[in-house]
Each structure stands twice: as C-alpha cells, then as structure tokens.
Amino acid sequence: MATQLTFKGDGVESPTGGVTVPWLMKAFRMGRATVERKLAGVEPIGYGKHRTPLYDLPEAASYLVKPKGDLLKLLKEMKPEDMPERLREAYWGAKLKQQRWEEKAGHLWTTSSVMDVFSNVLTEIRIRLQLVPDAVERDAGLDMKQIIAVRATIDGIQDEIHKAIQAIAEGGETLSQLGRDRLEVGEEELAEDEAAPRPARNHDDIL
C-alpha cells in the first residue's frame, strides 16, 4: 500500500513554510542521495526541528523534476520572478552585461546623454528661428509692419514648442529595460493567443 503524503507532521512546516528532504523523497519518489545531490547549492528558506533544512516547495520541485514538453520554449516564456534564485541571478547578470555592451556600442543611451543631445537640438532650432525675420527682411524686402508680423509668428512657434516640451516632460514617460522586456513578452503571448485555433461553434450559431 502506498504511503499517504501529507502536509502535516515532521516532514513539513506548512505548504508555504518549507519542506524537508524526507518529505521530498516521498513526494518525488527519490532516494535521499538523489534529492540531496539535486538540491546542492539551493539555499534553505528556514530550519525545522533539530536544525533540519526546510526548502521552498516550488523551487525544490524545479530542481527535482525534469520539465515536460519543449524545455527551450519553457525557459523562453518564463518570467524572471518565476525562476529559481540561481537562474534569476544569472538572468539579471546577463541583462546587465547586455546593457553594458549596448551602451558601449552606442545602441543604448543614458537619460542624461539623451537630455544633453535634445537640449542642443532645441538650442539650434531656436537660433535658426530667430534668424528667419532678418533673412526675410534682407531677401524679400518686406516693410517694417510685415517684419513685425513675421517676428510675432516666429515667437508664437517658439512658445508652442516650449509648451509641447513641457507637456512631454510632465506627462510623458519611457519604459525601462524591464518594462520593455515585459511588453515584448506580453505581445508574444497575445500573438500566440490570436494564432491559437478557436473552438468549433454550434451549428445553430452558424445558421
């Protein structure tokens, strides 16, 4: 008769409070040596009686059970918060290296660098706009009334640009690397949902 597995007793503190090696041996039908070998390097989340290590059940299961299906697809779709601690550290380490490479290659700019370039561009636009009335007066031979009208138009354009920039600064925002990653994952999941076959409808619905 098979041994009944329970979340009560010496083998487990609670479903979320950690499980012992003996409990995992029963749950996954493995010997002690196998369980301890696969959990080598996994940090216990606490200790029970007699300083018995307690492991997080979902994290321990990820080391003890070989995933079914396409492992590469599973890892690709896995979110950082769903990964075991060691994989999560490796993931963020790789992301940091990627950001450093993109920054050195000129593909990723810091916020301060973007603002410096943007400020220089706006300064150049402002200077060019201020030169327009003088150029028009010199090349088109406009009278003073017309020149004043041109200057007023240029001033209005500069005011509109200034207000638009203020609105962007107050209400606009850009996504961080983490935000872009999550957006890409969400778009991929949405595309998969749209590509999935729809359930057949009842003939009454069609008719």
Percent of the chain with pLDDT over 70: 69
Those residues whose C-beta lies under 8 Å from the C-beta of residue 102, and which sit 6 or more positions away, are 108
How open is the CA angle 169-173-176, to the nearest 5 degrees? 140
Phi and psi at residue 43, to the nearest 5°: -75, 130
Instruction: Report the pLDDT value the prediction gives residue 9, as an integer from 0 to 100.
Output: 53
DSSP tag of 202: P
Instruction: Report the pLDDT value the prediction gives residue 37, as an integer from 0 to 100.
Output: 94
Q: Has residue 136 got a pLDDT over 60?
A: yes
Q: Has residue 74 got a pLDDT over 90?
A: no
Name the residue with tokens 């018995």.
Answer: 52
Over range 86-99, report the average pLDDT: 82
Burial class, 19, CB count within 10 angstroms (exposed 0-12 / middle 13-18 / buried 19+): buried
Alpha helices in 29-110 (DSSP H): 32-38, 57-64, 71-77, 85-104
DSSP string, 118-129: HHHHHHHHHHHH
Instruction: Report the pLDDT value the prediction gives residue 159, as an integer from 0 to 100.
Output: 86
Phi and psi at residue 102, to the nearest 5°: -65, -35
Q: Helices 57-64 & 21-28, crossing angle to 10 degrees? A: 50
Q: Has residue 206 got a pLDDT over 50?
A: no
Task: Output the six-digit token pair for 163.
Answer: 């207000």
Q: Has residue 70 got a pLDDT over 50?
A: yes
Instruction: Report the pLDDT value the prediction gives residue 205, as an integer from 0 to 100.
Output: 39
Instruction: For residue 10, give the 3-state DSSP assignment.
Output: coil
Task: Output the six-digit token pair for 38.
Answer: 């696969």
Bigger pLDDT: 35 vs 129: 35
Q: Has residue 81 got a pLDDT over 60?
A: yes
